[in-house]
Each structure stands twice: as structure tokens, then as C-alpha cells.
Amino acid sequence: MNDPRTVLVVGGGASGNAVTILLRRAGITVDLVETRDDWNATAGSGITLQGNALRVLRELGVWDQVQESGYGFGSVGITAPDGTVLHVQDDIRTGGDGLPATVGMQRPRLQQILIDAVRASGATVRLGIRPEAFHQDGDGVTVRFSDGTEGRYDLVVGADGMGSATRAAIGITDKPEPTGMAIWRIAAPRPAGVTRTDLAYGGPAYIAGYCPTSETTLYAYVVEANRDRAAIPPAAYADEMRALAAGYGGFWPEITEHITDSAKVNYTWFDRLLVEGSWHRGRVVLIGDAAHCCPPTLAQGAAQSLEDALVLAELLTGADTWDDALLQAYYERRITRVRPVVEASVQIGQWQLDGVRDADVPGLMGRTMTMLQESP
């Protein structure tokens, strides 16, 4: 393959932004296209970033901004529905001793930090367009875009999320499947006493929790059985979430006071996806939620997507030839790490759905997080 190499990244979320930054650092020409005109800059409420995610963000060169913008902590509290603290457990530092165990932050702020880093990298960014067709041959991929233009690339990286059109376009038929749970989320002011994630199991919902995201903010969430979305008018989201949250004590009454604007409440089902066998077809390869997704019961969705970007970029920038063997090696390196995360995340939720009272949730969490201390 002759330099300069060219890569198309489809999707401007965490994994797409991360792989763009890393490939540009190596001098590879990168075009990033994102369907949304706003580059997802305002989407979401909050995000929990564990140490292995922070390790990748440090490699991207944005750790200082993340540290300044987020809220670091090192433990999780388990409470009764009335707010009584039953147990406080130190988090495992999956990113090593040089990083906090966990940082909570506002998701739009993390996205903006990554957007700024992509812009600074010199990548070409086009918003509001999408690929409409991929035509592959032995040397590369010709891509036709929705605005009528075409581009020629040595490799296409599909980072376009759970509903990935890239995945479908290359003939991978796997699709996300509901796990049976759904989550209500909202960003709210942080009560002064909230200095870590607390989780209440039981009560009106399966889980009620919150995570500090800055000195002044947090995001709160309530997990219940999934329902028909069409039966819940978006204008009623605040009422629905507030009714569930009202069943919890401790800091919840103060948080619940701010669940008033339905436009700020997000409701989504939990899904599971794990593409087996390989994550590429020819010169088109999937990363992040396009290849795998899981419930946030371990808070590992973004971390695993960021690790995908790191590993793929490492392999691409270290190889003279980009071929099927290289992309298969990427899959084999990632699947042994992603599979146990997906399976554990789903299992924790299934135990709750099934009402298993003696499930070894702490043990499963501990074993999985210990594994993640190793470099990806």
C-alpha cells in the first residue's frame, strides 16, 4: 500500500472521534462523516467513565480537559430504597494508579472535548451526510455519499452506532436485541452530599442511581422493565420519571424536584449486540456500538468503544500492509475482552428480571473489572 493512506470514518461518536485522532497523529489522511448536523454535541445527559476509558482518553491527549470538566471518585454506594447506605465498595482502578477509578461527566462536554481534538487533528469533517454505497476491490473502497459526492479510501471504519447502516451495508445481519429493561435519565443539579455513585436496588424500579458529573451537576437514572415507547408520550417523560423517582429516599427528593422538563428526560431500552466471527468485510471494519453493545450495568459501553479505537489504530499504524489478516487480528484481540463485558452486563440485568435474590453480582462485577485492569 502506497502512502499517504486514506481512511473514512463513518460516525462522530466516541469511537469514531477517537480513532480519527489516533490515525491523524500517525499522519494518515482521515475523512470523518456524521449524519447529524450538530455532531451529537448536545446529546445525552451524563456518562460514567471508568479507569480503562480514562486510560484511552489520556492517550488521546484530552485527559487534562476531562479531569477539569468531570468529577472523579473512587467508590460506589449501595443503598436501600429509603436512602439508607448499606455498603460502600472501593472501585477497582482499571486504568492504573495514576488515574481515578471513575470520572462522571456531562456527556455533551465529553463530546465537545473530542470534537475539538478531531478539529485540531486536521481531519476533514463533513456533517449532515452519510455513505449510501460501498464498492470494494482489492485495493480499496469507493464510497458514494448522500450529497452526491464520491471518495476513494484504503479503509472504511464503521463507527455509526447500534443502528449502524455500515454494518448492514456490508452484509452483517446481526442487530441489537432488547434485554427487557429500560432506563430514564436526566441531568440535574448536584446535592452537596453526592460525592460518588449510589445505587438503590429494588423499590418502584429495578435500580435507581446517580453519578456526579461536575462540581455542580449530576445525572440520575431509574431502570425499569421496558415498555412500549409509543404508549409513552414524550411530553409525559418528566411525569413518568418523577413518579418512579418519588419512591426513593436519601438524596432523591432533592433530585426529584428538578425532574420537571420532559425535553431533558431521556428514555431508552437496554440492548445487547455482539457480532461474532469477524468485525470486517473486505476493507470495511466496525468499531464501538456498531460491533457490540450492552446494558450500562457495568458502565463499560463507552470504555469498550474507546478501547476498540485504540487497538485498531495501533494495529493500523504499526503495519505495512492492511489486509484481512490484520483486521481479523483486531477482532480476535478485542472479542476476548468485549465478550465477557457484554455477557456480564446482560447477566446482571437478567438476574434482576428473574428476581434472583442470591445472585453473586459483586463477584461477577469484581472478576470482570479485574480483567479490565490489563491493557486492551
Parallel, antiparallel or unpaired: strands 292-293 and 124-127: unpaired
pLDDT tens by residue, 333-359: 999 999 999 999 999 999 999 999 888
The grid coordinates listed for 209 are 442511581
φ, ψ at 66 (rounded to 5°): -65, -45
Task: Report which of 145, 172, 146, 141 is spatially closest to residue 157, judged by C-alpha positions.
Answer: 141
pLDDT band at 43 (very low <50, low <70, confident <90, very high): confident
Q: What pLDDT score does 4 carry?
A: 79
The whole-number pLDDT of residue 180 equals 96
Cell reading at 360: 453473586
CA-based Rg of the chain, rounded to a whole angstrom?
21
pLDDT, the chain, mean: 95
pLDDT recorded at residue 167? 98
Residue 75 — very low, low, confident or very high, per pLDDT cuts 50/70/90?
A: very high
pLDDT at residue 41 in the model: 81
* Listed residue (121, 91, 311) closest to 199, CA to CA: 91
Q: What is the mean pLDDT of residues 12-30?
A: 97
Q: Alpha carbon of 220 to those of 42, 172, 179: distances in Å?
A: 17, 35, 21
Count Cβ atoms below 10 Å from residue 6 Cβ, excluding itself: 18
CA-based nearest residue to 275, from 355, 162, 187: 162
Stretch 291-304: mean pLDDT: 96
What pLDDT score does 1 carry? 45
Domain with CATH 3.50.50.60 in the chain: 6-71+103-176+271-371
The strand pair at 29-34 and 266-274 is best described as unpaired
Whether residue 156 has pLDDT greater than 60 = yes
pLDDT reading at 372 higher than 80: yes
When pLDDT is averaged across residues 258-280 and rounded to a whole number, the result is 96
Residue 205 has pLDDT above 60, yes or no: yes
CATH 3.30.9.100 in the chain is located at 180-270
**Residue 2 clears pLDDT 70, i.e. is over it:** no
Reading the block at residue 126, the C-alpha cell is 463533513
Kindly indicate whether the domain formed by 180-270 is annotated with CATH number 3.80.10.10: no
Distance CA 101, CA 103 (A): 7
% of residues, the chain, pLDDT over 70: 99
d(CA 365, CA 300): 11
228 confidence band (pLDDT: 50, 70, 90): confident
Average pLDDT over residues 232-243: 95
Per-residue pLDDT averaged across 32-46, rounded?
90
H or E, element range at 219: strand 217-225
pLDDT of residue 3: 60
Question: What are the backbone angles phi and psi of residue 104, rounded to the nearest 5°?
Answer: -100, 140
What type of residue sits at position 356? Answer: V
Average pLDDT over residues 243-254: 97
Q: Is the pLDDT of residue 164 over 60?
A: yes
Average pLDDT over residues 274-281: 97
Angle at which helices 51-60 and 14-25 cross, to 10°: 40
- Quote the cell numbers at residue 61: 491527549
What pLDDT, on the 0 to 100 scale, is given for residue 106? 96
Alpha-carbon distance of 30 to 136, in angstroms, equals 18
pLDDT (0 to 100) of residue 140: 95
CATH topology of domain 6-71+103-176+271-371: FAD/NAD(P)-binding domain (3.50.50)
- Residue 172, φ and ψ in degrees, nearest 5: -90, 120
